[in-house]
Amino acid sequence: MMHPLRPRLLLPLLLIAAAVCGCGTPGSSGGAATAPSGPVSTGFDTSQKVDLTIWDDETSPGDSKTEDELIHEFEQRYPNVTVHRVVKSFDDYMSTIKLAASSSNPPDVFQGNEGYAVDQALIRAGLILPLNGEAAAYGWDTRFGNPATLDALRWSADGSTWGSGTLWGVAQKAEVLGVFYDKDVMARLGLRPPRTFAQFQQTLAAARAAGVPPVMVGGLDRWPLGHVFMVLQALYEKPSAIEAWAFGHSGASFDTPATRRAAATFAQWGAKGYFENGFNGVSQQTAAARFAKGEGLYFITGPWENQTFAGPLGNRVGFFPMPGLRPGPSATTGSLSLPYHISARTPHPAVAAALIDFLTGQHAAKLLIEHGDLPAADPGGAALAGESSLAAIARTWQQKSRAGLLVPYLDWATASMGDTMFGGLQQLSQGAITPAQFTAAVQKDWESAHS
């Protein structure tokens, strides 16, 4: 199960960004790392003993068990390789990984984090290797659906431009935002899963009229409101416009008619009582616990909460992507999770690449499904069968990623965007600011970072 704060909150990462931007790899010029010349092979010398160290933050029971099993299987496949795993909680991990990566004895493989706070800093400091050759050799470009799915892990060679260019990492897991729903509550209200957004809003009104909280959300933590808004914006705004803005492309804007329309819908939900009573004084943990007890109809979030709900509710909990404004596929927010990088100082880049390939392939995907999390790679049809919420999430990820219908998390856009956007949404939900004031304030933050 993925921690809900892990990939999205940037505040713990600001110290890392400041530290990394000010120093390079010892003994180097601090520029971007370069890969060995020539074609990349998927093989390596198995006659020589190799010790690899990997750092990760997979602390939840299912994810940690998956990691240990995969590493053990890799060592069995390659008896000459011994893998030493170091696992830390997210905050501890992110406060120490740059120092470890820039040391004289760095981990050979380690996780980073998308965006300007971590991955850009690692690239600019020359601490990780570019992976275009490995991607071609192992087929990583097509492993995760549409090649655009990897855009959040691509940067220019100098780390100045995000969203295109060189591939620097590969992820094991994935995230896609959507709607969890309580099947028993829906049946009790005489409702069916909606197929359009208009039908979805009708179910909100029906639940409110019956005294059932339509959407459970922990507004006290602010960031959960961001996930609700992101799903709405993806309905109204063009995916290309959202991507350009999140990646910091010149001329992009958040202050558009389409985004203001999404903000207006969000504000209307607050005014109409579509969020649970007192939601801005309720934590996400409390809201999730209440939903898991059958107290609401919907919960808009990602796969990290799946086991929170499926544990007590079993197949009573379902999942679907937010229905579009019209029938047919529509965009939603989603991404690969924390990427694995290869240290620029490792003496064993080929073995490190083979390990990353093993950790992110179809076999690993099947294990992740078995242990309750969402893999980035396709686990195969058998693993996606059934009526569980996790199977529905995995099918949604596969469908959206293959169709190129995933848009980035909006708080990636700047190091301060989480505070600006999430605080603004809390005000918007209470009617303290207008949709136009909200979109203008967010765009001002963006322009201050990207002008």
Check residue 32 and give its pLDDT: 55
Distance CA 365, CA 172 (A): 8
Question: Given this model, what pLDDT does residue 298 score?
Answer: 98
Please say whether the dihedral angle defined by the alpha carbons of residues 55, 60, 66 and 72, taken in this order, is positive or negative: positive
pLDDT digits (tens, 9 = 90+) for 193-210: 999 999 999 999 999 999
pLDDT digits (tens, 9 = 90+) for 100-116: 999 999 999 999 988 87
Structure token digits, residue 63: 């994810």
Q: Name every residue whose Cβ is closer than 8 Å to that of residue 188 and which is 6 or more positions away in sequence.
A: none
Residue-level pLDDT at 18: 36
Q: Taking residues 342-362, report their average pLDDT.
A: 97
Contacts of 79 (CB under 8 A, 6+ apart): none
Q: What is the pLDDT of residue 39?
A: 67
Q: What percent of the chain has pLDDT over 70?
A: 91
The pairing of strands 50-56 and 81-87 is parallel
Report the alpha-carbon distance of residue 449 to residue 431 in Å, rounded.
28
pLDDT of 30 reads 46
- According to DSSP, the β-strands at 317-320 and 178-182 are antiparallel
pLDDT value at residue 33: 60
Using an 8 Å Cβ cutoff, are 234 and 321 in contact? no
Q: Which of 296, 288, 204, 259 is nearest to 425 (CA)?
A: 259
Which DSSP string do the residues of 327-369 spell out, in sequence order? SS---EEEEE-SEEEEBTT-S-HHHHHHHHHHHTSHHHHHHHH
HEC string for 16-44: HHHHHHCCCCCCCCCCCCCCCCCCCCCCC
Q: Is the pLDDT reported for residue 23 higher than 70?
A: no
CA 346-348-352 angle, 5° bins = 90
Instruction: Please list, in sequence order, all residues whose beta carbon lies within 8 angstroms of the beta carbon of residue 74, skipping any fewer than 6 positions away.
Output: 81, 83, 354, 355, 358, 359
pLDDT for residue 392: 93
Q: Over 50: is that where the pLDDT of 362 sits?
A: yes
- Residue 17 has which token pair? 């960004």
Q: What is the phi-psi region of residue 294: left when phi exceeds 0, alpha when psi lies from -120 to 50, beta otherwise?
A: left
Q: Mean pLDDT, to the nearest integer, of 88-107?
A: 91
The pLDDT, as a whole number, for residue 313 is: 95
- What is the structure's pLDDT at 72? 98
Number of Cβ atoms within 10 Å of the Cβ of 164:
12
Whether this prediction's pTM lies above 0.75 is answered by yes
Q: What is the SS3 assignment for 299?
A: strand
- The candidate with the shortest Cα–Cα distance to 334, out of 393, 250, 381, 264, is 393
pLDDT band per the 50, 70, 90 thresholds, residue 451: confident
Average of per-residue pLDDT values in the chain: 90
Three-point CA angle 171, 172, 176, nearest 5°: 85
